[in-house]
């Protein structure tokens, strides 16, 4: 899995940063991509990236402020023109469908695929045999959600040498042991396939938060996360302004990561006042409290190992 940052700015685009959009590529796991937020210009950013809208499977919206949703109509219609035919599910806060439906209808948009819109509430919003996605409400001026993507544990590895030592060659019996089944051998002995399989491999935990002030809900979502993506709109000298506009400082993002015992922190949603090396101030502030912090930039990728 890999996180790819299409837009890392706050409020409005700047020369360095477009507004918010983050892709989670799941090519090895399921051959698809999930997108978190879709600010204006996201489709243009995607054209300059290795990502393909046709492989988009889920699109998660954190909240309905324009810098997180104004790119939706363009991306959804462009996906058709780029050969996207597989179903696409759009998750987001109540009001998402009422906002989007008139735009698509009145513009005569043609979608060559099935679009499903699921308006979320706190709890599990998606689950299948590979992943479960939780969401919780954060502390922002309008309803804003954070998403916790949990990869389910994978089966442990088969000790093939141990199986072969019993004289069992690759074939149907070997396959049943690999699946952890109980098998009766030709000599009448019975073996438990599970005893040949190692411990389950823990799945990854990725947490992507919408706009928020510091809050315990963010800490709860981020517990033991392999990577936490948190807004860092301001530095700590602007704490009062951050509070007034329902945003977080880099230091507060680091405090969330520290309290949640996350493995790594990525700062995004950077105010346009922090251009070029000025943004490094945010990173230094975060690392003073949480050393495993990174500052996202447009078209930067982070491997989730």
Active site residues: 67
**Residue 67 annotated as binding?**
yes
First to last CA, the chain: 8
**Residue 247 annotated as binding?**
no
What does the block give as tokens for 260?
A: 């949640």
- What are the residue ranges of helices labelled H in 107-196? 160-164, 172-178
Nearest to 295 by CA among 219, 212, 230: 230
Residue for token pair 């709109």: 233
Cα distance between residue 143 and residue 78, in whole Å:
28
**Residue 58 annotated as binding?**
no
**Residue 63 annotated as binding?**
yes
Residue 188: DSSP 8-state: S
Cα distance between residue 62 and residue 59, in whole Å:
10
Residue 279: CB partners within 8 Å, gap ≥ 6? 270, 295
Please state the separation of Cα 141 from the chain's center in Å.
Answer: 22
Residue 253: CB partners within 8 Å, gap ≥ 6? 230, 231, 232, 265, 267, 286, 293
- What are the residue ranges of helices labelled H in 135-276? 160-164, 172-178, 216-222, 239-244, 250-260
Known binding-site positions: 63, 65, 67-68, 140, 211, 269
Known binding-site positions for Zn(2+): 63, 65, 67-68, 140, 211, 269
């Amino acid at each position: 899995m890999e996180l790819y940052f299409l837009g890392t700015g706050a409020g409005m685009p700047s020369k360095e940063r477009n507004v918010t959009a983050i892709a989670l590529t799941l090519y090895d796991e399921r051959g698809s991509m999930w997108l978190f937020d879709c600010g204006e210009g996201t489709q243009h950013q995607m054209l300059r990236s290795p990502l393909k809208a046709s492989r988009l499977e889920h699109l998660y919206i954190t909240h309905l402020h324009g810098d997180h949703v104004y790119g939706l109509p363009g991306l959804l219609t462009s996906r058709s023109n780029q050969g996207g035919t597989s179903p696409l599910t759009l998750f987001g806060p109540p009001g998402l469908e009422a906002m989007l439906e008139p735009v698509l209808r009145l513009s005569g948009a043609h979608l060559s695929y099935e679009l499903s819109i699921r308006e979320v509430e706190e709890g599990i919003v998606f689950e299948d045999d590979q992943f479960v996605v939780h969401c919780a409400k954060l502390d922002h001026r309008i309803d804003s959600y954070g998403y916790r993507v949990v990869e389910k544990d994978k089966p442990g590895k088969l000790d093939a040498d141990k199986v072969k030592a019993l004289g069992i060659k690759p074939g149907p019996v070997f396959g049943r042991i690999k699946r952890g089944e109980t098998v009766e051998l030709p000599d009448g002995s019975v073996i438990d396939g599970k005893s040949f399989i190692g411990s389950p491999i823990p799945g990854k935990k990725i947490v992507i938060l919408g706009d928020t002030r510091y809050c315990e809900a963010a800490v709860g979502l981020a517990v033991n996360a392999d990577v936490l993506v948190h807004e860092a709109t301001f530095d700590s000298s602007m704490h009062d302004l951050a509070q007034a506009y329902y945003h977080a400082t880099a230091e507060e993002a680091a405090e969330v990561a520290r309290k949640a015992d996350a493995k790594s922190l990525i700062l995004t949603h950077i105010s346009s006042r922090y251009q070029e090396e000025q943004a490094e101030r945010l990173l230094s502030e975060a690392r003073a409290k949480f050393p495993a912090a990174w500052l996202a930039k447009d078209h930067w990728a982070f491997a989730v190992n």
